[in-house]
């Protein structure tokens, strides 16, 4: 029996694809091993969103080749560079573009070396590698076409997964132990637009919430221009939906948002926070980008002022990365890297103070958490998350008193806080 291992790079949408690839290879008779050194074949599911991700993807594959492994290259690198890769990386056994993963076992049998990307469906799988949390990709691709972004080129136009397929997949993931379902896509707010659905996201969340065994449903990646009062009402009132939303705004300056090609511009962001601000129970995650071509000091000050108002609980701050093939790459008035770094650090320090204040307000309170594992540094502590914390990006709840079974929910009294984490005891 041939053995394989998988390296999943990039975003959680790519992780879902990796799980799908695992499922297909296992069904084709391969055995998955977690220790790469024991695997004959390594699948590297690549990311190519930014040049640094491209470099990491290629470096990872070259290291596997040096160890004498048979390497399969999947993911966005194949979309970005297509069959050029055959000449550049002849050591790679197979290049499989997004949308072709079901054909990997047959392609290996037939000694094929390249499967061109196909953008015609969204993968569904029941295999889950993340324990009591499962990512559920409800759409693929994006039709927003922001000027700095390669996703539409790497993943195609928006394709929504049929509702029945989403519900079947949710039930399958719950049967395998998922208690938290995290909805992902490039812009969840656009879900269903390509298949004639209105309020598609709201409807599918309602339906998923009727499935027994699910405790938390989390909504990630909603474009501000897609945010509806109905979605906020649902997040605020449905007990299974986490009081949380990920709403990437990128900037607040009308001039910069127009240069970025952001749908709805500054008006969409103002409207989104007019809708959200009254709901203090809903925690907002967002991302902003500094240094986009054309951003001047005045624009930056406008962004700083907005962030200082404290509308956002969790914030990711990125510096503009000029990607060949995007309209922003060719724009004049590029901002120098030193200025980008200064602006990024400035926003980060403002947000750190906001985060500390918000977390500090929870001391003495009791909150429900999902206990996931031991703390990464010591088994004397447990790692958990609250409903307002997404995995990997929003900090954790560190438990220093009380016993727990991983994958279960417990009431925790918060006693201390760190910059981005909470510390408490199970009661």
Contact residues for ligand SF4 (CB under 6 A)? Answer: 142, 144-146, 149, 151-152, 186-187, 223
To ligand SF4, the closest distance from the beta carbon of 253 in angstroms equals 17
To ligand SF4, the closest distance from the beta carbon of 150 in angstroms equals 8
Of the two residues 172 and 316, which places its CB atom closer to ligand SF4 in the complex? 316
To ligand SF4, the closest distance from the beta carbon of 283 in angstroms equals 21
To ligand SF4, the closest distance from the beta carbon of 142 in angstroms equals 3
To ligand SF4, the closest distance from the beta carbon of 226 in angstroms equals 9
Of the two residues 102 and 268, which places its CB atom closer to ligand SF4 in the complex? 268
To ligand SF4, the closest distance from the beta carbon of 146 in angstroms equals 3
To ligand SF4, the closest distance from the beta carbon of 327 in angstroms equals 11
Of the two residues 149 and 204, which places its CB atom closer to ligand SF4 in the complex? 149
Of the two residues 71 and 149, which places its CB atom closer to ligand SF4 in the complex? 149
Of the two residues 246 and 394, which places its CB atom closer to ligand SF4 in the complex? 246
Of the two residues 145 and 270, which places its CB atom closer to ligand SF4 in the complex? 145
Cα 105 to chain centroid, rounded: 27
To ligand SF4, the closest distance from the beta carbon of 33 in angstroms equals 34
Of the two residues 251 and 311, which places its CB atom closer to ligand SF4 in the complex? 251
Neighbours of 397 (CB within 10 A): 23
Of the two residues 13 and 311, which places its CB atom closer to ligand SF4 in the complex? 13
């Amino acid at each position: 029996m041939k053995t394989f291992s998988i390296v999943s790079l990039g975003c959680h949408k790519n992780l879902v694809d990796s799980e799908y690839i695992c499922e297909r290879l296992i069904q084709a008779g391969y055995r998955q091993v977690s220790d790469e050194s024991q695997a004959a074949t390594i699948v590297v599911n690549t990311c190519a969103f930014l040049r640094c991700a491209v470099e990491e993807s290629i470096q990872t594959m070259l290291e596997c080749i040096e160890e004498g492994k048979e390497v399969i290259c999947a993911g966005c690198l194949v979309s970005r560079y297509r069959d050029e890769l055959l000449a550049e990386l002849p050591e790679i056994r197979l290049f499989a573009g997004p949308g072709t993963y079901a054909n990997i076992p047959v392609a290996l049998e037939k000694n094929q070396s390249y499967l061109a990307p196909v953008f015609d469906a969204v993968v569904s799988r029941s295999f889950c590698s993340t324990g009591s949390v499962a990512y559920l990709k409800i759409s693929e691709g994006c039709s927003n076409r922001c000027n700095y972004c390669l996703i539409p080129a790497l993943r195609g136009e928006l394709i929504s997964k049929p509702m029945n397929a989403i519900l079947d997949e949710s039930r399958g993931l719950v049967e395998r132990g998922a208690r938290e379902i995290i909805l992902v896509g490039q812009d969840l707010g656009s879900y269903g637009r390509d298949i004639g659905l209105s309020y598609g996201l709201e409807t599918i969340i309602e339906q998923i919430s009727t499935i027994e065994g699910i405790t938390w449903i989390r909504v990630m990646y909603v474009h501000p221009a897609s945010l509806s009062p109905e979605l906020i009402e649902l997040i605020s009132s449905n007990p299974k939906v986490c009081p949380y939303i990920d709403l990437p705004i990128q900037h607040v300056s009308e001039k910069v948002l127009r240069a970025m090609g952001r749908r709805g511009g500054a008006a969409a962001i103002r409207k989104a926070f007019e809708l959200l601000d009254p709901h203090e129970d809903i925690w907002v995650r967002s991302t902003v980008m500094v240094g986009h071509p054309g951003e001047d000091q005045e624009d930056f000050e406008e962004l700083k002022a907005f962030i200082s108002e404290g509308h956002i609980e969790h914030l990711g701050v990125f510096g503009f990365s000029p990607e060949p093939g995007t309209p922003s790459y060719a724009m004049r008035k590029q901002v120098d890297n030193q200025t980008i770094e200064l602006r990024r650090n400035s926003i980060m320090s403002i947000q750190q103070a906001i985060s500390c204040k918000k977390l500090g307000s929870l001391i003495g309170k009791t909150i429900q958490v999902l206990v996931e594992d031991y703390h990464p540094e010591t088994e004397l502590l447990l790692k958990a998350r609250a409903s307002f914390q997404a995995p990997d990006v929003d900090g954790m709840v560190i438990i220093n008193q009380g016993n727990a079974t991983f994958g279960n929910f417990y009431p925790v009294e918060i006693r201390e806080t760190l910059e981005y984490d909470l510390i408490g005891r199970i009661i």
